[in-house]
Amino acid sequence: MGRAAAGVGGGDILSMKTAWPEVVGWDGMSAVMKIHRDRPDVQRVFINFVRMSSEKASWPEVVGWPATAAVTQINSDRPDVSIEVIPDGATVPPGFSAKRVRVFFNAGDATGPVTRTPFVG
């Protein structure tokens, strides 16, 4: 990733945030608002939009389900994606993959319920 231009904002140039992987999957306006909250000195934001398809891309209905049942549902809807099952709170590497769904679950609960909406990315 590139770094901010010299002379912008008065902060340490090398420590300024220049990427926002957490906004992947957000609508454009929400992403821009987040970036401007983090870096009010930024005057232009360029967003790469991935071609949208009619394939299912998120599963809000599985929040609270046992992780195994959620994986079965996601695999049924999208057999083309790999599914990562991850304990909630675990550190995961940033980055987007159009062929990945992460399912976060509560490892402290015997049923292992899904804690967040799984989505492609």
Number of domains the chain contains: 2
Distance CA 103, CA 108 (A): 15
Residues 6 and 39 in one domain: yes
Question: What confidence score (pLDDT) does residue 40 get?
Answer: 86
Burial string for 30-51 (b: 16+ CB within 10 Å, else e) reads ebbeebeeebeebeeeeeeeee
Q: Which residue has the tokens 């992460």?
A: 102
**Which residue segment(s) compose the domain that 106 sits in?**
53-121
Q: What is the pLDDT along the chain (121 residues), one digit of tens a residue?
A: 444 444 445 556 667 888 888 887 777 778 888 888 888 888 777 766 555 567 899 999 999 999 999 999 999 999 999 999 999 999 998 888 989 999 999 999 988 999 999 999 9
Examine the domain organization and report whether 43 and 2 are in the same domain: yes
| Closest of 76, 52, 81, 50 to residue 62, by C-alpha | 76
43 lies in the same domain as 82? no
Strands 100-105 and 82-87, how do they pair?
A: parallel
> Is this model's pTM higher than 0.95 or not?
no
What pLDDT does 113 receive?
A: 96
> How much is the pLDDT for 4?
42
Confidence at residue 69, expressed as pLDDT on a 0 to 100 scale: 96
Closest CA to 67 of 21, 22, 107: 107
Task: Give yes or no: residues 35 and 88 share one domain.
Answer: no
Which residue(s) pair with 114 in the sheet? Answer: 105
Based on the domain organization, do 5 and 39 belong to the same domain?
yes
The pLDDT assigned to 103 comes to 96
Say yes or no: 43 and 71 in one domain: no
